[in-house]
Amino acid sequence: MLKIDISQIRGNLGEFQDFSLLFDRARIDLEHDWTQGIFRLDGTITNVGVAYQLRGKISFKTQQSCSRCLEPIDADSSIDISAETSDVDDEIEEDLYNITEIVREAIVCGEPLKPLCKEDCSGLCPSCGINCNISTCACETEQLDFRLERLRDYLKN
C-alpha cells in the first residue's frame, strides 16, 4: 500500500505538500512484468477546498521486447498522474491518503502496446526470421525481384 500523511494540509484551504516515494511492484500489487526495479513517485497534494488534488510523476525502468524484432528493450519511462479525492471518499482514512490504486492503474494503463527498439526498426524477415536491423538476407532481394517481375508483366499487358 502507498499512503501519504496529509494531516498538515487537512482543513487548511490552499495548503499543499510535496512528497517523494520509493516503492517496488509488490507494494502496489502490480503483476505486470514489463517494469523492473524500483519506482519513484514525486508529487504534490493540494487542498483545494472541496477536494485534495494530487499531481505527480512516476519514474521507473522498463523491460520489454520490441514488437517487430523481439529484441529486449531496456528503457527509462515516466508517467504523469493526476487525481482528486475528498474527505468523503474511501481513499482517505484517518489522515492517510491511499494512492495505491491510482498509481497501479496509471502504470498498468501506461504500458506501451507496441514497443519498438527504434522508430525505424526493420523487424524480422518473414521468410527466414533473420533480424533485418543486424544483417540482410537473400530472401529480401528474391521477394523484390519477384515483385519487379510482376510489375514488368503488368506493364507489358
From 26-34, 50-58, 101-109, 122-130, give the range in contact with Zn ion by CB under 5 A. 122-130
Instruction: State yes or no: residue 66 binds Zn ion (CB under 5 A).
Output: yes
Distance CA 85, CA 97 (A): 9
Instruction: State yes or no: residue 73 binds Zn ion (CB under 5 A).
Output: no
Contact 63, 32 (CB under 8 A): no
For cell 504523469, what's the residue?
80
Residue 60: all three cell numbers together:
521507473
Task: Find the shortest distance in angstroms from Cβ 104 to Zn ion.
Answer: 28
Counts for the chain of helices (H) and strands (E), in that order: 2, 7
Rule CB under 5 A: choose which of 127, 136, 141, 143 binds Zn ion.
127
**Contact positions with Zn ion (CB under 5 A) in 101-120:** 117
Instruction: State yes or no: residue 132 binds Zn ion (CB under 5 A).
Output: no
Give DSSP secondary structure letters for 92-134: EETTEEE-HHHHHHHHHHT--SS--SSTT---B-TTT--BTTT
Task: Find the shortest distance in angstroms from Cβ 75 to Zn ion.
Answer: 12
Instruction: State yes or no: residue 4 binds Zn ion (CB under 5 A).
Output: no
Q: Taking Cα atoms as reference points, which of 118, 145, 147 lies closest to residue 134?
A: 118
Instruction: State yes or no: residue 21 binds Zn ion (CB under 5 A).
Output: no
Task: Find the shortest distance in angstroms from Cβ 17 to Zn ion.
Answer: 43
From 7-15, 53-61, 85-93, 123-131, give the range in contact with Zn ion by CB under 5 A. 123-131
Distance CA 127, CA 143 (A): 10
Instruction: State yes or no: residue 139 binds Zn ion (CB under 5 A).
Output: yes
| Residues near Zn ion, by CB under 5 A | 66, 68-69, 117, 121, 125, 127-128, 130, 137, 139
